[in-house]
Amino acid sequence: MKKLFYYSVKFTVKLLIRCYFRRVKIYGIRNIPQDGGIIFSPNHQSAFLDPMLVGCNLSKDVTSLTRSDVFGGPLQWFMDALKMLPVYRIRNGYANLKKNDAVFEKCKKLLAEKKWIMMFSEASHLDEYFLKPLSKGSSRLAYEAQIQSNSPIYILPVGINYGHHKNPFCDVHLVFGEAIMVNQFMNQKGEKPELINAIKARLSTEMKKCMWLPENDQNYDERKKMIHTENTRMDFFDLKKGIHDKTLPKKKVASKSIGPRLMIGLFSIPNLPPLFLTSRILRLFKDVVFYSSVKMTAGMLLFLFWWSFLLTICWMFWGYKIAIFTTIGCILLLYSRQILSNKYF
């Protein structure tokens, strides 16, 4: 039952992601080794949308390490079914940190069995493009798992690059980098902490190669202006080079013209109920990192309910032709609204 639920959710999420984003470009899928356990290490910029985006595009099951405060209670069955394991942080209480030992032991066994794990090495999320300093968690897990395993253990850097951190119908580039074979570090000279730091440094370098704008330097704000709906149509590597060299056109200043605003307002009218409810739900989240995750999940459910309701009502009163025409019109107007929003604002 849990396995069926896992694959049903995986299929549904993949479909939602394809509807929510304008384009999902995937790079480096052939970089994923098939002969050992893997720790996937993505950057973390969009709450629970990040693990969903990576997980639904992998060919095998992946166990995700997730903040512990979402576990327990009536949702525990779903957490288990989705192959999620808790990670305890200092904010959960110092006494709870010891619980990580049992979780990591389970992860080591999974890796020794050539299973796949996802762990966010930054250990926190932020709606910016640069890579934050990495924690030692994933590197330490990989090192200790390799000691206990006869098969190779890898850390695979993953770059999630969003065309916009809050708006739907943007582009996203998902980049799987070169796998890091942990065995390469086992025969090097040095104590365990030094070797773990060496793995972490290598991971940071490789993750930056998978990101459009990985450095928070004095040019960050200027380069960030080059990430917009026109430029993200480009190939990942061309876009990354253009941002680094500062040769790409910057995003235009938001339009003050009444025309685009009026058009967006008119296009919103047929979908006002789900748009209004989505905006009310978003107000519950102070951290904007959750915006895209909430819009894709709660928003898409609200729109599907609204379109189903319209289809049913119109069918009952005016027949199936008008019902289908009205529903398709609402869908097209929603996408047109978002295209205008991304272009002018």
pLDDT at 213: 96
Model pTM score = 0.91
Rg (CA), the chain: 22
Task: Give Cα 63 distance to the centre of its chain.
Answer: 15
Task: Give Cα 44 distance to the centre of its chain.
Answer: 7
The pair of three-digit structure tokens given for residue 71, joined into one six-digit string: 């576990």
Separation in Å, CA 149 to CA 106, 154, 187, 191: 13, 12, 15, 19
Other beta carbons less than 10 A from residue 213's beta carbon: 22
Annotated domain spans of the chain: 2-218, 258-344
The pair of three-digit structure tokens given for residue 148, joined into one six-digit string: 């206990």
Between helix 258-268 and helix 320-344 the angle, nearest 10°, is 150
pLDDT at 255: 63
Task: Name the nearest CA neighbour of 164 among 335, 23, 263.
Answer: 23
Buried b (16+ CB within 10 A) or exposed e, 87-96: bbeeebeeee
Backbone angles phi, psi at 128, to 5 degrees: -130, 165
Q: Tell me the average confidence (pLDDT) per consecutive run of 10 residues in the chain, 345 residues long.
A: 82 89 95 94 90 91 78 67 74 63 88 93 87 92 92 96 92 96 85 91 96 95 93 96 93 75 91 94 87 88 94 94 95 91 78
Question: For residues 264 and 169, is the Cβ–Cβ distance under 8 A?
Answer: no
DSSP of 240-308: HHHHHHT-SPPPPPPP--HHHHHHHHHHHGGGHHHHHHHHHHHTT--SGGGHHHHIIIIIHHHHHHHHH
Task: Please give the Cα distance from 103 to 66 (Å, whole number).
Answer: 11
Separation in Å, CA 10 to CA 43, 56, 63: 20, 5, 13
Residues in the chain: 345
DSSP of 142-167: HHHHHHH-SS-EEEEEEEEEES-SS-
In CATH, the architecture of 2-218 is 3-Layer(aba) Sandwich (3.40)
Task: Please give the Cα distance from 316 to 80 (Å, whole number).
Answer: 42
Task: Please give the Cα distance from 103 to 87 (Å, whole number).
Answer: 7
pLDDT at 41: 96
Question: For residues 158 and 44, is the Cβ–Cβ distance under 8 A?
Answer: no
pLDDT at 257: 75
Question: For residues 146 and 244, is the Cβ–Cβ distance under 8 A?
Answer: no
pLDDT at 127: 87
